[in-house]
Amino acid sequence: MQFEFATASRIRFGPGVVWEVPELAGKLGRRVLVVTGRSTDRARLFYQALEAAGLESILFPIPGEPTTGDVLLGKRTARQEGVEVVISLGGGSAIDAGKAIAALLTNPGDVHDYLEVIGQARPLERPPAPFIAIPTTAGTGTEVTCNAVLASPEHRVKVSLRSPLLLPRLAVIDPELTYDLPRAITAATGLDALTQLIEPFVSRRANPMTDALCREGLRRAAPALRIACRLPVAPQSGSPRPTDELKTARADMALASLWSGVALANAGLGAVHGFAAPIGGTFAAPHGAVCAALLPHVIEANVRALRQRAPGSEALSRYDEVAQLLTGSDRATADDGVAWVRDLVRELQIPSLGAYGITAGQVSGLVEKAAQASSMKGNPIALTHEELTEILGRAL
């Protein structure tokens, strides 16, 4: 048995831990680039806390899923402002952008020198500038992964800048930051986390350390996601405080997301994320929603292919175990797991991929690109062109 395990240098988890960041960041540098999502409103109090701690901060919003152009602009801004520390406060887009900006601050050349697939995939020569990741969604787990996913509009694809050096210096996971997430974002990001617990668990690169995280993550996420989507969001001024049930569900989803990031970074992913890369690079489709729409169809196709071509594969028994963790029944089979996921996707009102403008005529091209995606290497069985085409057709 051989495997490797790596994660962020330091992880802080718990309600209110975000307010420890100004003091911790001050030990790394005094000039800070704060990378956020489209709106900087949610970062205002955090920005004020940095200023109160004597740090000079520059806000840098990312208007959508990060592009190579966003990262190049962020690098130029950070260099012009003499930035010493990069902090991302937001969802996966803000965190991936922050990782890439921190890397380019200290490494020569252009972002394309380091990108997979469309670039030269050169290894980073130097450690990035100190980087702190603070997720405000419970889904991507990118606060503990060693890659930054960027869209290249000219190539119509999403690709990774990948290096062990990209692991954040500090990951701060505060469940309170997710209390006010809208239901649709909670559902999509939560299903992304669920996907990132299932795919590493059945991956060809699964190992005992990631298995433990996936099992516990699935056990927590299965009931918590429904509760987090059902209950009222965080209180606005004058409205009731969040219930203990909501707090527990949000904390469990934050943990599940964190563990999913550690798992995928060390055990890889599968066909869901293999499809998500070209779809996200071609269409204005949120990553989590894409994964959610694909998940039941990929599981079903994998189970059928394994039964037909690799009936002795351990992945089949692992799909049974996934079903048992999701349903809470020790008699559940992989087919029950497929049904459970399909029902959850329907209940949480996840749109089909057709809602983002994907048509039957585009399926073949997307399948060709997906087959080449790095995530496909972890899928428990190599799927045929016909099987991949069927998956995408069912998800439309």
- CATH number of the domain at 110, please: 3.40.50.1970
User: Are 342 and 367 contained in the same domain?
Assistant: yes
Q: Is 152 part of any domain?
A: yes
Q: Is 202 part of any domain?
A: yes
Token look-up 């290894």 returns: 123
Q: Is 3 part of any domain?
A: no
Domain count, the chain: 2
Determine the pLDDT at residue 41: 82
Strand ranges (E), the chain:
11-13, 31-36, 56-61, 85-90, 131-135, 147-152, 157-162, 170-173
Determine the pLDDT at residue 4: 84
User: Are 194 and 89 contained in the same domain?
Assistant: no
Q: Is 318 part of any domain?
A: yes
- Would you give the DSSP letter of residue 349? T
User: Are 199 and 150 contained in the same domain?
Assistant: no
User: Are 151 and 256 contained in the same domain?
Assistant: no
Q: Is 4 part of any domain?
A: no
Domain, as residue range, for 272: 183-395
Tell me which amino acid residue 386 is: E
Helix (H, G, I), strand (E, B) or coil at 58: strand
The answer to whether 268 touches 378, Cβ cutoff 8 Å, is yes
Q: Is 156 part of any domain?
A: yes
CB proximity list for 53: less than 8 A, separation 6 or greater: 22, 23, 25, 26
CB proximity list for 382: less than 8 A, separation 6 or greater: none
Q: What is the mean pLDDT of each run of 10 residues along the chain (396 residues)?
A: 88 97 97 93 91 96 93 97 98 96 96 92 96 96 95 87 96 95 94 98 97 98 95 57 90 98 97 94 90 98 98 98 98 98 97 96 95 94 98 97
Determine the pLDDT at residue 42: 79
Determine the pLDDT at residue 340: 98
Determine the pLDDT at residue 316: 98
Say whether pTM exceeds 0.85.
yes
The answer to whether 200 touches 264, Cβ cutoff 8 Å, is yes
249, two tokens: 């569900």
User: Are 89 and 189 contained in the same domain?
Assistant: no
Q: Is 1 part of any domain?
A: no
Q: Is 5 part of any domain?
A: no
Domain boundary among 112, 144, 178: 178
User: Are 195 and 344 contained in the same domain?
Assistant: yes
CATH number for the domain including 337?
A: 1.20.1090.10
Determine the pLDDT at residue 2: 84
User: Are 164 and 263 contained in the same domain?
Assistant: no
Domain boundary among 178, 212, 234: 178
Domain boundary among 144, 178, 212: 178
Helix (H, G, I), strand (E, B) or coil at 10: coil
**DSSP secondary structure of 218-240:** HHHHHHHHHHHHHS--S--TTSP
User: Are 189 and 331 contained in the same domain?
Assistant: yes
User: Are 134 and 239 contained in the same domain?
Assistant: no
364, two tokens: 């073949």
User: Are 15 and 102 contained in the same domain?
Assistant: yes
User: Are 251 and 343 contained in the same domain?
Assistant: yes
User: Are 167 and 249 contained in the same domain?
Assistant: no
